[in-house]
Amino acid sequence: MKIITIAGNVGKDAVVRRTGNGDAVAGFSVAVTDRKKDTTWFDVSVWGKRGETLAQYIRKGSKVTVIGELSTREHEGKTYLSVNASEIALQDSRTAGDDYREKTPTQDLDLDMEVPF
């Protein structure tokens, strides 16, 4: 088994589909760019109820970290990299849409106020 950790940007919104036996699987792509500006794309799968739940939060442009089993497949002379995710961490506050940002405590502060020290 080859375990990999990738951190990158989601390339397309997650889509949930059903397998022949009714199992749910969420699929999306992640782009990882190195220091040389070379980009590697990974197809990510998240199975079951967790995949169905996470799919509503995984949107194009979001930053994610994925840990899972790496596999490859060949199709028409091209090699595709796939990750069967065991863990996913959403790295930004983007959730239910492009205009939604989770409120952080610092957004309540008045930055122009006098500091007593």
Tell me whether residue 107 is in a domain: no
pLDDT the model gives residue 93: 60
> Range of 58's domain?
3-96
Tell me whether residue 11 is in a domain: yes
Tell me whether residue 102 is in a domain: no
The CA–CA distances, whole Å, from 78 to 4, 12, 41, 72 equal 21, 20, 12, 10
Q: Is the pLDDT of residue 106 over 70?
A: no
Give the Cα separation of 26 and 47 in Å (integer). Answer: 6
Domain total in the chain: 1
Tell me whether residue 116 is in a domain: no
Q: CATH number for the domain including 74?
A: 2.40.50.140
Q: Is the pLDDT of residue 96 over 60?
A: no
Tell me whether residue 38 is in a domain: yes
pTM of the predicted model as reported, rounded to 2 decimal places = 0.74
The answer to whether the CB of 53 falls within 8 A of the CB of 93 is no
Place of tokens 């006098």: 114
Tens digits of residue pLDDT in 19-78: 989 899 999 999 999 899 899 999 999 999 999 999 999 999 999 999 999 999 898 988
Tell me whether residue 44 is in a domain: yes
